[in-house]
Amino acid sequence: MSPSLTAFRALVRKDLALFIRDRRALVVSVLTPIVVAAFFGFLFGGTGAGGNPVSRLPVGITDLDDSALTKAVLESLGSDASLQVQVLPEEPAQQLVRSGKLRAAIVFPAGFEAAATGALVGNGHMPEVKLLYDPSQSIIRSVVASLLTQHVMQRISRPNFIASTLSLPFTLESIAATTGPRYNSYAHSFAGMSIQFILFMGIDAGVALLLMRQEGMWRRLRAAPLSRGVLLGSRVVSTALISMAILAVVYLVAGLVFGVRIAGSLPGFVMIAIGFSLLAATTGLMISSLGRSVGATRGVAMFSVLILVMLGGAWVPAFLFPEWLQQVTEFVPTRWAVDGLDGMTWRGLPLQAALMPAAVLLGWSAVFALIAVWRFDWEGN
């Protein structure tokens, strides 16, 4: 084996040995993404195999009309699987909405039935139904208003209220659209959290290089007859290997405990894992080349990674973003990593679908590596 290759191997082995012996790094890099991903996965629907029941919205109803129609609507709303109905007077209902214990409250005014049936056929004024809602959750207002409209229309259109019968002109069947098995929200949360915490590990690797400079180790390495390629390349390889090992362990736990499956292409998954691992490694290298003091560098890098992870859809899926933001995040490498891992796991996509994300990740890795080499202060301490 050539001396350069021996040196390269010694440098990589040293980084791996240091990582394994650093309990804190092991815990942060492996255990934390598993715990956080498990929590988010549970929160956002679990395995999708009828695991978590849909949470029902607590809604208060005040019936000042006490008519047959309002009683029928009340019964109808009470049987809706999305709602947890509580009948109570207006004042307590308003207090409970204010305190956040009810998401909304509906107040049927006195004379509602007479006014509503008349207004439906064009006679008289429409009655005014109050909808009290928590302003911090304004989307609830739309949900409750829609459900209220649906249930009132269904009840009021029955023959005992008006002459003609109206009903919804369609039925709705919801089907989860994936080519793989049923959607598993753990798959997405494990993708997102793996990416976040592996990028944190990449930052640590970059900061460790800054510390090496401060503590004299860098001088010692440079005293050996080693090229820049060996010194920095070994760093990239060791960080990428650690990253791939973390991904493997995290997804092993995800598979064994949370039922996450690589329903798509395994080679595609590996390609994306390699692309992302190189991205994490070159991110660390770039940080070490741009940073000066350890404290400031760590702070700025953490902030940057959190922004990248957020925009990449690791916390909430990118399809929930506004349209313009979805387009902007096409330029964010973490978006490709998250989408790529999602594609190979619960979406069950084939190898071809991994080519583009892997290529984008490798491209960004090359850009980061070039910046690192360009900005690296070789002779400074």
Residues that bind other proteins (CB under 8 A): 1-4, 6-7, 9-11, 13-14, 17-18, 21-22, 215-217, 219-228, 230, 379
Q: How far is the CB of 16 from other proteins (least distance, A)?
A: 11
Residue closest to 237 by CA, chosen among 272, 288, 282: 282
Q: Which helix (H) or strand (E) holds 110?
A: none
Nearest to other proteins of 224, 257 (CB atom): 224
Nearest to other proteins of 194, 288 (CB atom): 288
Rounded Cα gap, residues 300 and 284, in angstroms:
12
Q: What's the token pair of residue 147?
A: 């459900």
Nearest to other proteins of 77, 236 (CB atom): 236
Q: How far is the CB of 24 from other proteins (least distance, A)?
A: 11
Q: How far is the CB of 352 from other proteins (least distance, A)?
A: 42
- Beta-carbon neighbour count of residue 327 at 10 Å? 10
Rounded Cα gap, residues 307 and 292, in angstroms:
21
Q: Is the dihedral of CA 342, 16, 199, 35 positive or negative?
A: positive
Q: Which helix (H) or strand (E) holds 57?
A: strand 57-63
CA–CA–CA angle 100, 104, 107 (5° rounding)? 130
The residues pairing with 331 across neighbouring beta strands, listed in sequence order, are none
Rounded Cα gap, residues 73 and 151, in angstroms:
6
Nearest to other proteins of 158, 220 (CB atom): 220
Q: What's the token pair of residue 23?
A: 């309990």
Dihedral-angle region of residue 46 (phi above 0 means left; psi in -120 to 50 means alpha; beta otherwise): left
The residues pairing with 63 across neighbouring beta strands, listed in sequence order, are 108
Q: How far is the CB of 201 from other proteins (least distance, A)?
A: 17
Nearest to other proteins of 69, 209 (CB atom): 209
Q: How far is the CB of 380 from other proteins (least distance, A)?
A: 9
Cα–Cα distances in angstroms (integers) from residue 289 to residues 207, 242, 380, in the given order: 10, 20, 11
Nearest to other proteins of 123, 381 (CB atom): 381
Nearest to other proteins of 218, 251 (CB atom): 218
Q: Measured between alpha carbons, how far apart are the two ends of the chain, in Å?
A: 31
Q: How far is the CB of 32 from other proteins (least distance, A)?
A: 21
Nearest to other proteins of 303, 378 (CB atom): 378
Nearest to other proteins of 230, 260 (CB atom): 230
In sequence order, which residues have a C-beta less than 8 Å from that of residue 1 and are 6 or more positions away? 9
In sequence order, which residues have a C-beta less than 8 Å from that of residue 237 and are 6 or more positions away? 8, 12, 281
What is the arrangement of strands in the sheet containing 57-63, beginning at the earlier edge strand? Answer: 83-87, 57-63, 104-108, 130-133
Q: Are 112 and 119 in contact (CB under 8 A)?
A: no
Grouping H, G, I as helix, E, B as strand and the rest as coil, residue 62 is: strand
Nearest to other proteins of 17, 252 (CB atom): 17
Q: How far is the CB of 230 from other proteins (least distance, A)?
A: 8
Q: Are 310 and 375 in contact (CB under 8 A)?
A: no
